[in-house]
Amino acid sequence: MGATLIEKLIRHRTGNESAKAGDIVTVRADRVMVHDIFIPFVKDKFEEMGFQKIWDPEKMVLIYDHLVPASQVDDTRHFRIGDEFAERYGLTHVHRSDGVCHQLMTEKGYVKPGDIVFGTDSHTTTYGCVGAFSTGIGYTEMASVLGTGKLWLRVPETIRVNINGTLPKNVQSKDVILRILGDLKSDGATYKSLEFAGDTVERMSVASRMTMSNMAVECGAKCGLFAPDEKTAAYCGITLDDFQQSLYGDDDAVYEKVLDYRAEDFVPVMACPSQVDKIRPISDLVGTKIDQVFIGSCTNGRLEDLAAAASVLKGQKVAPFVKLIVTPASKQIYQDAMKAGYVETLMEAGAMITHPGCGLCCGRAGGILTDDEVVVATNNRNFLGRMGTSKVQIYLASPLAAASCAVAGEIVEPC
């Protein structure tokens, strides 16, 4: 009997060669990430539990990204407590405004194929793009992991998603994952592992895979995994070892469900207000007037996303009275986009480029909207109140679609 990707990973990391879906196992963390919103609560729980030291300070990464720049007076309390925690417990991996946590964790080499990683953010599933088991946990669990280096979990059942063929030119991986979310619904993969396979995903860049792993949690998934390959190795700056090369789901493994897609059948889509699984073809929404477009976040703020937007906006102008806000996912991406000329193109078109961070996506700063305004955004959630008041209408889309809407001043299909 074969094994799923997640079963292989957990068997190797625990030494339990019989571990299978449904089993309870205790795993050691290879890396953990805490961001600025949760550091005060992690610190309180950590000390309440009586821990005197972190099990391995080198394996903890502290990232300031949600509250920078500070938009409320109380935000600075998080910075102060985080800095005190880092100094007291000897943290060496601290990022102050270097970018969005999920971008930095892979970009800076903190995560490798086959790793087990926990973070205090639901979109920690992002690192499945390089074949790591990564998932979000609460601050109480994180405090326990910081003290012991371990956490128990149930081995997830797997939903295999096979995609084969060539995607249409106006379809991006964001359209693919949105379509899958629409099919599975918001609770259709609760505590499951989504395992993506097929020649379509093999041709995807690591950045495109990140978009899909990032949004796996939107249907309740515990993780969203891609088999590591040579693209993964190049991105991570490593040579895959025998274990990492074995990280793929076997055809004869036990899957809870298998979804098969033909790439040519995908079309540009949007998630409509106010559910991530309320998916409609953009062709059904054409003509909807918009007030703002947002391109960025841990879902679609990477270099290829900015390149896609720039390709649409080159020689164009943002429609009158429409605000286009672009937020690179990291300082490195910002710099690379400037060198490539994308930032200049976007600015000439009328875009406002912001500091790398999570502000607008998490509803803190940098373009918050008000009652009855409509925004087309490339981030991962369109819940009520997510980007402003509860009466803001949020449509989620790919960077190509978002940029096209910014020029038109209304929802249009990307060319």
Identify the pLDDT of residue 1: 85
Identify the pLDDT of residue 364: 87
Cβ–Cβ < 8 Å for 238, 112? yes
The model carries a pTM of 0.97
Q: What is the 3-state secondary structure (H, E, C) of the chain?
A: CCCCHHHHHHHHHHCCCCCCCCCEEEEECCEEEEECCCHHHHHHHHHHCCCCCCCCHHHEEEEECCCCCCCCCCHHHHHHHHHHHHHHHCCCEEEECCECHHHHHHHCCCCCCCCEEEECCHHHHHHHHHCCEEEECCHHHHHHHHHHCEEEEECCCEEEEEEECCCCCCCCHHHHHHHHHHHHCCCCCCCCEEEEECHHHHHCCHHHHHHHHHHHHHHCCCEEEECCCHHHHHHHCCCCCHHHHCCCCCCCCCCCEEEEEEHHHCCCEEECCCCCCCEEEHHHCCCCECCEEEEEHHHHCCHHHHHHHHHHHCCCCCCCCCEEEEECCEHHHHHHHHHHCHHHHHHHHCCEECCCCCCCCCCCCCCCECCCCEEEECCCCCCCCCCECCCCEEEECCHHHHHHHHHHCECCCCC
- The more confidently predicted of residues 187 and 415 is 187
pLDDT tens figures, 152-163: 999 999 999 999
pLDDT band at 128 (very low <50, low <70, confident <90, very high): very high
Per domain, the residue ranges of the chain are 7-13+23-263, 271-408
Distance CA 380, CA 300 (A): 9
Which of these CATH numbers, 3.40.50.10790, 3.40.190.10, 3.30.499.10, 3.40.50.410, describes 7-13+23-263?
A: 3.30.499.10
pLDDT band at 246 (very low <50, low <70, confident <90, very high): very high
Identify the pLDDT of residue 256: 98
Cβ–Cβ < 8 Å for 316, 345? no
pLDDT at residue 136 greater than cutoff 90: yes
Identify the pLDDT of residue 60: 98
**CA distances from residue 290 to 100, 215, 328, 409 in whole angstroms, order as listed:** 26, 24, 22, 6
Query: Average pLDDT in the 205-233 region?
Result: 98
pLDDT, averaged across the chain = 97
pLDDT at residue 32 greater than cutoff 90: yes
pLDDT tens figures, 283-327: 999 999 999 999 999 999 999 999 999 999 999 999 999 999 999
* 7-13+23-263 and 271-408, same CATH topology: yes
pLDDT at residue 225 greater than cutoff 90: yes
pLDDT band at 415 (very low <50, low <70, confident <90, very high): confident
Fold of domain 271-408: Aconitase; domain 3 (3.30.499)
pLDDT band at 147 (very low <50, low <70, confident <90, very high): very high
